[in-house]
Homo-oligomer: A and B are copies of this chain.
Amino acid sequence: MSNAQHSTFSNVSILHHPLFPINYEVLIKVLRITNSILTISVIMAKLLVLSLSLCFLLFGSCFAFRDQQPQQNECQFERLNALEPDNRVESEGGLIETWNPTNRQFRCAGFALSRATLQRNSLRRPFYSNAPQEIFIQQGNGYFGMVFPGCPETFEEPRESEQGEGRRFRDSHQKVNRFREGDIIAVPTGVAFWMYNDQETPVIAISLTDMSSHQNQLDQMPRRFYLAGNHEQEFLLYQKQQVRGKEEQESEGSNIFSGFKRDFLEDALNVNRHIVDRLQGRNEDEEKGAIVKVKGGLSIISPPERQPRHQSRSRQDEERWQPRPHKSRREEEDDEKHSRHHDQGGSRWKQDNGLEETVCSAKYRENIGSSSSPDIYNPQAGRIKTVTSLDLPILRWIKLSAEHGSLHKNAIFVPHYNLNANSAIYALRGRAWLQVVNCNGNTVFDGELEAGRVLIVPQNFAVAAKALSDKFQYVSFKTNDRAAIARLAGSSSTLNGMPLDVLAATFNLERNDARQLKNNNPFKFLVPPRESERRAVA
């Protein structure tokens, strides 16, 4: 097969790419010929601003639609529950727990939830889903990779010399990313995803799969398409329950290769039967499961550790890949800022080599954990950090966002509601007292949310929280990439937006009382505990 032919093929792949990017390159090139250099660079910067603004506007929450609405009455709750996972599937290298997606609260919210735990040196085998995922790393560090069709294999491993016949082969693959505690990872629909824990601490990852996304063209049941193994996908159980009335299905639980004829795969892949058998998961123990132990660990996927440190320090790409364990969190934070700047100013807008790299090198993760710089902060009350499509542009695509919060004991998150999103509040640490109110003014939740449980708060339902333990931490997944909340108390709240007289007439209050309502609470999101409570804590 000729070279020309090859390149035709890869061009085609690019054209088919789901995220065909903007060709800023052409723009930049032409502009370089222009003679007023100074002016131009200013213009450039502003053009980017324009594009980005336009982008933001267009991709903003006005477009943060979701495809599927719940059935009639599905969201008429008189009672919500804080839910634990109700099923667990053990694997060789960890376990996957799931919440029942056919539970009415999940059906109303339109998403599914699962939690994976990876032991040291364990690999979550590659799979893809028929809906976008948002993954939060509750604990641990490791590597993850996603395979985008049409993207080039940009990571080139050094030549192997240890093996004789390996000399001719130099492995290359798509980008491998490092994740750490507090990261949000965005996984688009249909894109194969794997992750690996190379550290001692087990990795715990909470994953929301947004079945109501417009990108899901199948029904509302979550599906995992595994590329390998001989085990049931973790949500199959619930599907079986739903169709129990029908004849027992003989789904032996296997991967997407196992359904093809053996001979056919030999031809299609041009490999021998032994390899095909492994691909199809034949003779593999079902107990091995979705997460497998890797003997001796994976070494090859951390190329930078092998690169010499004495090379030019100005090449930030390398700096990104220095061994992390030796760094303090502070340093990591800085690195991240660097690499982030690099991603946006460098890889995404200023590359020379064509169109495909821009999407292929987009950023798919963002840290919102306790070590990140908060968006909302009060040393007496706590901190909140959010990630929206303004922080992580890929979220525009999957129409999800997230919020991470940390409250001191007895601190209050003022009553508020999600303007344009459903949300799932997952408690990471400690416990809090939550109240949720529906449109009839009824309390649909009034209880504790403790670590490991999730509470689904439907759009527009009013919610408030008070931390009961020393440090209550949570992550909240939201079904809108520009999720917004409206606060019902405190400075700049909805009450403050109304004229005093309207407020007084609305609540049948004296003007003076209405004034108190507007002014008495100077805090916006988080209210610190009263003096007495604070002293009790200290």
Residues of B within 8 A of A352 (CB): 25
Q: Known interface pairs A39-B33, A498-B126. Does A19 touch B60 (Cβ–Cβ under 8 Å)?
A: yes
Q: Is the C-beta of A312 less than 8 angstroms from some C-beta in chain B?
A: no
Contact of A419 (CB < 8 Å), options: B24, B191, B414, B500: B191
Proximity bits, A399-443, B CB within 8 Å = 1, else 0? 000000000000010110111111000000000000111111111
Q: Known interface pairs A50-B27, A54-B51. Does A521 touch B16 (Cβ–Cβ under 8 Å)?
A: no
* B31 in contact with A527 (CB, 8 Å): no
Residues of B within 8 A of A522 (CB): 1
Q: Known interface pairs A61-B19, A75-B219, A412-B268. Does A27 touch B14 (Cβ–Cβ under 8 Å)?
A: no
Residues of B within 8 A of A63 (CB): 63
Residues of B within 8 A of A486 (CB): 128, 147, 149, 190-192
Q: Is the C-beta of A189 less than 8 angstroms from some C-beta in chain B?
A: yes
Q: Which of A378, A464, A484 has the most CB of B within 10 A?
A: A484
Proximity bits, A10-40, B CB within 8 Å = 1, else 0? 1011111111111111111011111111111
Q: Is the C-beta of A130 less than 8 angstroms from some C-beta in chain B?
A: yes
The CA-CA distance from A421 to B490 in the complex, in Å, is 42
Residues of B within 8 A of A133 (CB): none
Residues of B within 8 A of A464 (CB): 260, 264, 268
Residues of B within 8 A of A261 (CB): 435, 446
Residues of B within 8 A of A252 (CB): 441-442
Contact of A34 (CB < 8 Å), options: B39, B50, B495: B39
Q: A18 to chain B: closest CB distance in Å?
A: 4
A396 nearest in chain B by CB position: B62
Q: Known interface pairs A54-B55, A73-B219, A482-B16. Does A494 touch B149 (Cβ–Cβ under 8 Å)?
A: yes
* A485 in contact with B37 (CB, 8 Å): no
Residues of B within 8 A of A9 (CB): 376, 491-492, 524-525
Q: Is the C-beta of A325 less than 8 angstroms from some C-beta in chain B?
A: no
Q: Known contacts A62-B397, A149-B484; can you find 18 more A-B pairs with CB under 8 A?
A: A8-B376, A13-B492, A17-B151, A31-B42, A32-B44, A65-B215, A70-B219, A73-B242, A152-B492, A192-B498, A223-B439, A225-B460, A227-B506, A233-B440, A260-B415, A275-B513, A275-B517, A278-B509
